[in-house]
């Protein structure tokens, strides 16, 4: 939205704000959330277990590759907004076509199965908890406010 733009009615303003909000979520907010997920992943997945049956790809096509995180188009209704962020990394070797996030975090995949020697290593719930109630929450809110300002909406919360 150009600065000092005049709108003719409230619905036009709502439409312009929704576009700016979706764009902000898809960019600035997404970056903060993805970075928090990667930080918790390093702490709770990479730092606690060294694999013996496979070689990690890490940030080069692996679980912590920023390019392997995708966000759905944000949905905005009256007072709610929702979107989904997923890690779409697929395995290599014997788990070639499986999303490895599910295998690593849950008990249904190879992680958590005592016969494999690999512990389940959940991390997403910790990352989302940080985004709700810690300094990461402030980072996410600042990303939201600065993204909206960049798009012509000067937002302040009291």
pLDDT tens string 81-140: 889 999 999 988 777 788 888 888 876 655 556 666 667 788 999 999 999 988 889 999
Total-model pTM: 0.84
The C-alpha angle with vertex 38 and arms to 44 and 72, in degrees rounded to 5, equals: 125
Question: Residue 51: helix, strand or coil by DSSP?
Answer: coil
Confidence of residue 1 (pLDDT cuts 50, 70, 90): very low
Domain boundaries, the chain: 10-150
pLDDT attached to residue 146 = 96
Q: What does the alpha-carbon distance between residue 98 and residue 100 come to, in Å, rounded to a whole number?
A: 6
More confident residue, 29 or 105: 29
């Amino acid at each position: 939205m150009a600065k000092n733009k005049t709108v003719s009615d409230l619905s036009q303003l709502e439409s312009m704000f929704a576009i700016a909000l979706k764009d902000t979520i898809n960019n600035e907010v997404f970056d903060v959330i993805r970075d928090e997920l990667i930080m918790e992943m390093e702490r709770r997945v990479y730092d606690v277990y060294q694999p013996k049956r496979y070689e990690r790809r890490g940030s080069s096509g692996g679980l912590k590759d920023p390019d392997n995180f995708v966000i759905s188009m944000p949905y905005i209704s009256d007072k709610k907004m929702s979107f989904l962020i997923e890690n779409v990394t697929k395995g290599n070797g014997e788990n070639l076509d499986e999303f490895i996030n599910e295998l690593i975090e849950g008990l249904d995949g190879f992680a958590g199965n005592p016969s494999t020697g690999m512990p389940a290593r959940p991390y997403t719930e910790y990352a989302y908890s940080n985004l709700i109630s810690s300094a990461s929450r402030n980072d996410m809110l600042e990303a939201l406010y600065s993204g909206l300002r960049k798009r012509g909406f000067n937002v302040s919360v009291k």
